[in-house]
Amino acid sequence: MTLGTWFALLVAIILAAEAVRAVRHRAFGSERWRRFFRHPTAAWGVGILAFLVIVAVAAPLIAPFDPDRQLDIIGLKNHPPSWTFLLGTDVLSRDVWSRIVYGARVSLGIGGLGALVAVSVGSLVGAVAGYYRRWVDAVLMRTVDIGLALPRIFILLMAVALWDRLPFWVLVLAIGLTSWFGTGRLVRAEVLSLRERDYVLAARALGAGAGGVIFRHVLPNAAAPVIVSAALGVGNVLLLEASLSFLGIGIRPPTPSWGNMIADGAPSVYTAPWTTVAAGLAISLVVMSLNAVADGLRDALDPHEEGGAT
Amino acid sequence: MSAPRPAGQPLVEVRDLVKHYAAERGWFGLGRPRPPVRAVDGVSFAIGGGSTLGLVGESGSGKTTVGRTMLRLQEATSGRVFFEGSDVFALDSGRLRALRRRMQIVFQDPYSSLNPRMTVGETLREPLKIHHLSGEVSSLLEEVGLDPAFAKRYPHELSGGQRQRVGIARALSVEPRFVVCDEPVSALDVSVQAQVLNLLADLQSRRRLTYLFIAHDLAVVRHIADTVAVMYLGKIVERAPAAEIYALPRHPYTRALLSAVPEPDPRATKRRIVLSGDIPSPAHPPPGCPFHPRCPHPKKSERCRTEVPPLREVPPQSGHLAACHYAEQPM
Ligand SMILES: Nc1ncnc2c1ncn2[C@@H]1O[C@H](COP(=O)(O)OP(=O)(O)OP(=O)(O)O)[C@@H](O)[C@H]1O
Ligand SMILES: [Mg+2]
C-alpha cells in the first residue's frame, strides 16, 4: 500500500461517514427518516454500503495494485496479510485487497442491476396480474408458481449452456429474470387490495386509463414492500453470483468478483484462508448491511405509522 | 351543456339492474361451485334532472353495488342504464370516457377515497388534465368551502370533513350532471354531517345537479331527497315521493326503519318496531318475500313464504310503490 492509496481509503471512509451524517441530518425534518434511524444498525448499514459504493467507483485510486497482475508467481504466492498486501495475496500472487476493491464493482454492479431487473419485472407483472385479474392473473401467477418451484441454479445452468462463460450483462439479465417471482407475487397481493380502494375507483370514475391508474395510484402505494424486497434482493443476487462463480459459470476470470475470489481461494483455504475469507466477509457485510437497511425501511415506509389526523 | 330535454323525461334511468357476484372457484375454476351473491336483484328507477333519489337500506342491501354498476365501475350481470337517453352499458371505451365527465361519485370513507401519496392539488388536477379542462384547483376548493392553501396538503393532514370536501371537489372538477353520493356523511362526526349535507344541497341548486343519494337510514335523506327508494336484499321494496313515504309508509320494512328515526316533534308518540334477526345472506335469500322471516306484519301468511310480492302501485296515491302482499293493511 502506498501513501496515496492509504489516503484515498481514508477519504472514502470520511465520505461514507459524511453521507450517513447528511442523511441523518434530514432525519430531523422528516418523521419517516426518524423512524428509519430508530434502528441503530440502519445507520451502520447505510455507512457500510456508502463506503463500498465509493470504493467501487474510485477503485483505481484506492487499489494499490493492478487486480489482475501476478506480482511474483514464485515469491509472492499466497503471501499472508501485511502492510504492503493488506489482505495478503492469492494463489496466483495477485493482491487480494486490490481484487476486493475491483470486485466490488462487478459484484455490487451485478447485485444492484440484477435486483433492479428483478424488481421492475416483478412489479410490472404483479401489478398487471393484480389489476386485470381473471385469466391474466391466472396465467401470470401459474408462471410464478413454476418459477418459484424450479431451482434457479437449474434455470441458469440452462442459460449457461448457450454461452461457455456469461458476459456481464447476460449474467445480470439471467439473474434478474429468474429472481422476480417473489416480488411479483408480493406486488400482486398488494395490488389486489389496493385496486379496491376508493381512490382507485375514483380515478377510474374520472376516466383515467389503466396505465394512469397503475402508475399513479396503485404502484406508488405498493412502494414500501417493493423497496424492502429490492434491498433484500440485492443481497440474494450477490449470493447467487457467488454460487454461480463457485460452479465456474459466473464472471469470467481474471476479472475479479467476490464470488469467483471465493472459488479461487477454495483449494488453498487451509493454508491461505485470507482470499476466501476476505471475499466471503465482503459478501456477508453487504448482505447484513442490506438487511439492516431493509429493516429500517420497513419501519420508515410503514403506512400504518403514517402520521396525521384521524 | 346538453340539449334541452323534453319535460318529464328522466336524466337517469335504471331498468331491471342485476348484479350477482360469482363465488370464488379457485384454481382455474375447479372446485365445488357455490351459489352467487345476489347483491342487486332486479332494481329499476328513474331520476329526473335536478332532483334527488334517496336510496336507503341496511348494510349489505346492495346500495353501493347499484351506484357503482350504474357508473360502470363494476360490470353488471344484466339490466340497462340510460343516461341522457344513451345506453350506458353499450358504450365503447371512447364514449365511456366522455360519459365519465357527466356522471361522478362521492365515496363513503373519506380515509380511503384520497390517494395518500398525492397532494390535494395533484388529486384535483388529475381529472382536469384527463379531460383537458381549464378549471382551477383554487376555485374548486373555494366552492367546497376550503382555503386554496389546502392544495399543498396531503390527505393525512386533513380532517374527515375536509377530506370529504376534497372528494366532492374532485367529483365536481369534471362538471358532472349526475353524482352518486354513496353515504357521503355516514363516516363523519355528527357535528360535521350537517355541514357536508348543506354543502351538497347548495351545490345541487347552484350547479343543477342530479343526485342518487345513498344512506342507511331514512333520517339522513329526509331533507335532500325528492323520491325515496328503500332496498332490502338487493331489491327495492318501496319507492315513493319523499313526503309520501315519511307520512304513510306502506312496506313493513320501511315502517320499521322509520320507527327508528327520532321524531322531530317530541310530543308525537310512536311505537318502535324492532326487527327480529339479522338480514339474511344475499347468497341464500329466503323464498317468497325476501323480508318474510323478519316481517312483523300481523297479516303475514303462507303466501309471503311462497310468492314473491311484485313492486306495485299502492292506492290511493299514484307513484307510491311497495312490494308487499298486504301493503294496504294497517300494521
Ligand atoms: N366484490 C364483491 N364480491 C362478493 N360479494 C360482494 C362484493 N361486493 C359486495 N358484495 C356483497 O354484495 C352485497 C351488497 O353489498 P353492497 O356493498 O352493495 O351493500 P351496501 O348496501 O352498500 O352496504 P353498506 O351499507 O355496508 O355500504 C353484500 O352482501 C356484500 O357482501
Ligand atoms: Mg355501501
Amino acid found at A194: L
Flag whether B109 is in a domain. no
How many angstroms is it from B63 CA to the middle of ligand 2?
A: 6
Same domain, B85 and B180: yes
Domains of chain A: 68-309 (1.10.3720.10)
A264: its cell numbers: 479461487
Same domain, B183 and B159: no
Flag whether B49 is in a domain. yes
**CA–CA dist B161, B184 (Å, integer):** 10
Q: Whole domain around residue B71: which residue ranges?
A: 10-26+33-102+176-322
Flag whether B74 is in a domain. yes
How many angstroms is it from B37 CA to the middle of ligand 1?
A: 9
pTM of the model: 0.79
Give the number of the ligand closest to the Cα of residue B279.
1
Provide the ipTM: 0.85
Flag whether B124 is in a domain. yes
Q: Which residues of chain A have pLDDT under 70?
A: 1, 164-165, 302-310
When CB atoms are compared, the residue of B28, B112, B130 closest to A198 is B112
Of B156, B175, B194, the residue at which a domain comes to its end is: B175
Do residue B118 and residue A203 have CB atoms under 8 angstroms apart?
Answer: no
Flag whether B328 is in a domain. no
Q: What is the residue-wise DSSP string for B103-135?
A: EEEE-S-TTTSS-TTS-HHHHHHHHHHHTT---
**Residues B44 and B14 sit within 8 Å (Cβ to Cβ):** yes
Same domain, B69 and B145: no
Same domain, B302 and B168: no
- The number of distinct structural domains making up chain B is 2
Give the number of the ligand closest to the Cα of residue B39.
1
The CATH code of the domain that includes B276 is 3.40.50.300
* Closest residue of chain A to B67, computed from CA coordinates: A205
Q: List ligand 1's pocket residues with C-beta within 6 A.
A: B 21, 37, 39, 57, 59-65, 216, 282
**CA–CA dist A305, A307 (Å, integer):** 6
Distance from CA of A276 to the nearest CA of B (A): 46
Flag whether B81 is in a domain. yes
Same domain, B124 and B252: no
**Residues B124 and B173 sit within 8 Å (Cβ to Cβ):** yes
Q: Whose CA is nearest to atom 25 of ligand 1?
A: B59
Dihedral sign (CA B21, B26, B29, B30) = negative
Helices within chain B (DSSP H only): 63-70, 93-100, 120-130, 137-143, 160-172, 190-207, 218-221, 242-247, 252-259, 302-306
Same domain, B164 and B206: no
When CB atoms are compared, the residue of A199, A206, A307 closest to B174 is A206
> Is B139 exposed, middle or buried, given 0-12, 13-18 or 19+ CB atoms closer than 10 A?
exposed
Residue B25 CB coordination number (10 Å): 12
Same domain, B126 and B267: no
* Closest residue of chain B to A222, computed from CA coordinates: B117
Same domain, B147 and B245: no
Flag whether B135 is in a domain. yes
Same domain, B68 and B204: yes
Same domain, B189 and B42: yes
Give chain B positions within 8 Å (CB) of A206: 100, 104, 126-127, 130, 170, 173-174
pLDDT tens digits for chain B (331 residues)?
Answer: 444 444 457 899 999 999 998 876 555 556 666 788 889 999 999 999 889 999 999 888 999 999 999 999 988 999 999 999 889 998 888 888 888 989 999 999 988 899 988 889 999 999 999 888 888 889 999 999 999 999 888 888 889 999 999 999 999 999 999 999 999 998 888 889 999 999 999 999 999 999 999 998 888 888 899 999 999 999 999 999 998 898 888 999 998 888 876 666 656 556 677 777 778 888 888 888 999 888 888 888 888 888 899 998 888 777 899 999 888 887 7
Same domain, B88 and B187: yes
**Residues B232 and B322 sit within 8 Å (Cβ to Cβ):** no
* Closest residue of chain A to B131, computed from CA coordinates: A207
Q: Whose CA is nearest to atom 26 of ligand 1?
A: B59
Flag whether B274 is in a domain. yes
